[in-house]
Structure 1
Amino acid sequence: MCSEKGEIACKSISEKKLNNSINRGINYLENHQLPNGEFLMYMSDDDAMQTWNLPESCVFPAALIGNSLLSIPNHQKVQEILFKSAHFLYYQMDRGGTWNHYTILHRFRKLCPQDLDDTSCVSYFLKQMNFDIPVKRNQQLAVNNRRSDGLFYTWIVFRWRFNKNVLYWYFAAKELKHLFKSLIFWHKFECSRYDVDAVVNANILLYLGKRKETLPVISYLIDIIKTESEEDCDTWYRNIFTVYYFISRNIYAGIIELDSIKDDIIHRILKRQNLDGSFGKSVLDTALAISALINTGYKGEKIKNGIEYIIKTQRRNGHWDRWAFYYGGPKKLSCFGSEELTTGFCLEALARFRDLQKTE
């Protein structure tokens, strides 16, 4: 009998079965990546995205899918997908190595300010792809975009406080130049120029790494888990599996201080597993849960059950169903997701499990 955190499942899943599912998912992404390297995202108003759906042109999906596919090295089709994604993201880069949530052709591009979430996720991916981006400049901008307790603001916008960073003032002046549009943005969307979000800080931590300026973030993330505040710690990421996933990436990256919350994350994920092996409400939740469990060192039977669920729910053309990944604010009036995004996270979970089986 396998222990809760001990050996991998007694009955493993055949590598042929895993490879077949992974290859079908890769083929789907290859066929649904746009010629410019972009991946589509949809906006809807329900988690299952079964009512109205509006296609959106965003930077974020290519970065998220790209980071997930980094777990499948030495695969020719994956390398082609990653290469196209990297070039797309590099083309979307703004001054100082910053990124907007929307692409340069989107109707909201000039309305929405730059943010550290997209900037950190894209920068991390492009660094892994060995693209030449102004790392020192955008990291210093991030460091200068913190509040007094050391946590990072989400938005790169004007605030009534001293800031010596010249690049910061470029974006602040740009906002003031379009003051009316800026006021519309802050009125229309559920956000504030003083937002501090947990997942955003976790993504910044992954990009910047452990250093003097990110120590408050580490303490902040530990406190969120210890006080069980993960359900309401971020404006945009309203799903606890998303929170666990992004925090766990820092654990896997070697931020040893976060080891103190590994058991808490593992326990809370496992108690949300369903009888059919899935986690939460969707295959997306299941994929995020499995990657988070592996990142935190869990190797028990319940991962295999979740993997079997993922394989079972794969569609004939290789994709997995879309589900809300992030939201337009705490009221959850709008959400964003796509088949491509879900497929990226499912492929990450499958590949990570395949690697885990090989080491056991």
Structure 2
Amino acid sequence: MAKETIIKLNRTVFRKTKKYRAALFLILGLFTVIAVGITAASAAQMPLETASHSESDKALHGSSISQEKIDTSIDKAVSFLKEHQLPSGEFPMNGSLSPEMTNSAYELEVFGSTFVLHALGLVKPDPAVNEMKNKTGAFLLANKEDPGVWRYWGKYSNIPPDMDDTSTIVASLKENGIPVEESGMDYAFNYRAPDGVFYTFMNEEKWMNSSDIYYPYYKMNDIDPVVNANMAYVLSLIGKPVPEVSVFLNGYIQNKSFTERTIYYHIPYSQLYMFTRAYADGHVSDLKPSMPVVREYLLSMQKEDGSWGNELNTSLAAISLMNTGYKGKALDKAINHILKTQRDDGSWPERSFFVGIMTYWGSEEVSTAFSIEALSKYSEMHRTNKNKKSSLLEQK
């Protein structure tokens, strides 16, 4: 059966499944929002602390991994992404009712492609990479709605625009030099809680259908720390930082609330990735007091084989460590594990990255993008250290 036919059948089955579980989605959503809301509120009250650096934190990583090996791995991964990019420019994301992604099915959405675009921005540019980035940019822009906002399932879907999609899309476009208006970010300021943090959904009536079973859920004004981290990320990139969000996130991280799921992020590693990306790539310097907490947690959770469990978690954790400024030997073990688990076609396995109350989302393409990011950042760190050593030798 042709790939296009399989995708269409999967989408039909998956959409029917979504309708059947809508009522349960709503009930569980109410309980989840209440539970997470209590955790987030208490986290915001926590005083800031400064964690101490371990000895391994101070040691520079070694050079046992050859640059050629890393470059070859990245090239294979990029080739895989090129082969799997859809004609629309989207990189597939699959949904499953299981965190193990059992019986996952493709569903058009805009969120996953932003992380592939972000990773491609770290790769040495060439005509093929530039074409992929331009196609992804065109796909994302084609799903934009006035005044510069996005919905998870694309233009005119049955859910309102949200902060998570809008922020990550604008950020990925901006950092890759793809023109995008910033009016949607100004519009987002209409959807803030009294303490200055952002609600998840832009839930004005014009975006929704009151007869939709999801309507009560979207009207609840939920607050997710990771969504706020992505807002902090993009707002810093466009020169409109919101200090109140940093205060909220620092309290949440210092309390180690990331060890529990948020409404949309069920594993700590996807949470920590977003927090540290805002700090390192978004230059949200107000998050600096929390970076030692993240670093120590990640170092304590690494396994003997260099991993943090599955392949996706390992890439997310390695990136997060580097984002905090860590340069220790634990990274060598992590990168070696990432290289060893790459498959012959250049990809890494599909693992769940985030959750929509009941549906888990992930794909080989998104897992591969995070591995590319980890390898690219490690390579750049190694190159920077080498240049510093050369400079010191020249001065002598």
Alignment of 1:250-329 (within 5 A): 250-252=278-280, 253-279=282-308, 281-329=309-357
CA contact (8 A) 1:197 1:233 kept: no
Shift of 1:227: 1.1
Shift of 1:100: 0.7
Aligned counterpart, 1:180: 211
- Pair 1:149-2:162 in alignment: no
* Structure having the larger proportion of residues in helix: 2
CA contact (8 A) 1:150 1:213 kept: no
Which deviates the most, 21-30 or 222-231?
A: 222-231
Alignment of 1:1-360 (within 5 A): 3-49=55-101, 51-104=102-155, 109-135=156-182, 137-158=183-204, 172-175=205-208, 178-181=209-212, 184-186=213-215, 193-209=220-236, 214-232=242-260, 234-252=262-280, 253-279=282-308, 281-329=309-357, 333-360=358-385
CA contact (8 A) 2:261 2:267 kept: no
Aligned counterparts of 2:325 and 2:166: Cα–Cα separation in 1: 28
CA contact (8 A) 1:44 1:53 kept: yes
Aligned counterparts of 1:112 and 1:249: Cα–Cα separation in 2: 27
Supply the RMSD in Å over aligned alpha carbons.
Answer: 1.9
Shift of 1:9: 2.3
Aligned counterparts of 2:319 and 2:117: Cα–Cα separation in 1: 15
Structure 1 unaligned regions, length at least 5: 159-171
CA contact (8 A) 2:113 2:136 kept: yes
Q: Structure 1 vs Structure 2: percent identity of aligned residues? A: 30
Shift of 1:52: 1.5
Which AA in structure 2 matches 1:215? P
CA contact (8 A) 1:73 1:79 kept: no
Shift of 1:192: 5.3
Shift of 1:303: 0.5
Shift of 1:213: 6.3
CA contact (8 A) 1:147 1:153 kept: yes
Aligned counterparts of 2:91 and 2:103: Cα–Cα separation in 1: 19
CA contact (8 A) 1:59 1:103 kept: yes
Aligned counterparts of 1:288 and 1:126: Cα–Cα separation in 2: 21
Aligned counterparts of 1:322 and 1:98: Cα–Cα separation in 2: 28
Q: 1:75 to 1:267 in 2, by over 3 A?
A: farther
CA contact (8 A) 1:324 1:336 kept: yes
Could you give the per-residue CA deviations for residues 267-318 of structure 1, whole angstroms, max 9, x where no partner exists? 0011111111101x21100000111111100000111101110110111101
Aligned counterparts of 2:371 and 2:303: Cα–Cα separation in 1: 17
Shift of 1:6: 2.9
Which AA in structure 2 matches 1:100? R
Aligned counterparts of 2:339 and 2:72: Cα–Cα separation in 1: 9
Aligned counterparts of 2:255 and 2:368: Cα–Cα separation in 1: 32
CA contact (8 A) 2:347 2:368 kept: yes
Aligned counterparts of 1:320 and 1:110: Cα–Cα separation in 2: 30
Aligned counterparts of 1:221 and 1:24: Cα–Cα separation in 2: 37
Shift of 1:77: 2.5
CA contact (8 A) 1:62 1:85 kept: yes
Aligned counterparts of 1:319 and 1:77: Cα–Cα separation in 2: 17
Q: TM-score, normalised by structure 1?
A: 0.87
Secondary structure, counterpart of 2:306 in structure 1: coil
CA contact (8 A) 1:26 1:77 kept: no
Q: 1:174 to 1:203 in 2, by over 3 A?
A: closer
CA contact (8 A) 1:224 1:233 kept: no
Could you give the per-residue CA deviations for residues 171-197 of structure 1, whole angstroms, max 9, x where no partner exists? x2242xx2212xx1146x7x6531111
CA contact (8 A) 2:93 2:362 kept: yes
Secondary structure, counterpart of 1:134 in structure 2: coil
Which deviates the most, 62-71 or 123-132?
A: 123-132
Which AA in structure 2 matches 1:199? V
Aligned counterparts of 2:93 and 2:67: Cα–Cα separation in 1: 31
Count matched residues: 330
Shift of 1:10: 2.8
Aligned counterparts of 2:261 and 2:245: Cα–Cα separation in 1: 13
Structure 2 unaligned regions, length at least 5: 1-53, 386-396
Shift of 1:130: 3.0
Which AA in structure 2 matches 1:263? P
Aligned counterparts of 2:77 and 2:331: Cα–Cα separation in 1: 19
Aligned counterparts of 1:24 and 1:208: Cα–Cα separation in 2: 34
Aligned counterparts of 1:227 and 1:31: Cα–Cα separation in 2: 43
Shift of 1:76: 3.3
Could you give the per-residue CA deviations for residues 225-277 of structure 1, whole angstroms, max 9, x where no partner exists? 11111133621011101111111012213322211111110000111111111
Aligned counterparts of 1:10 and 1:72: Cα–Cα separation in 2: 22
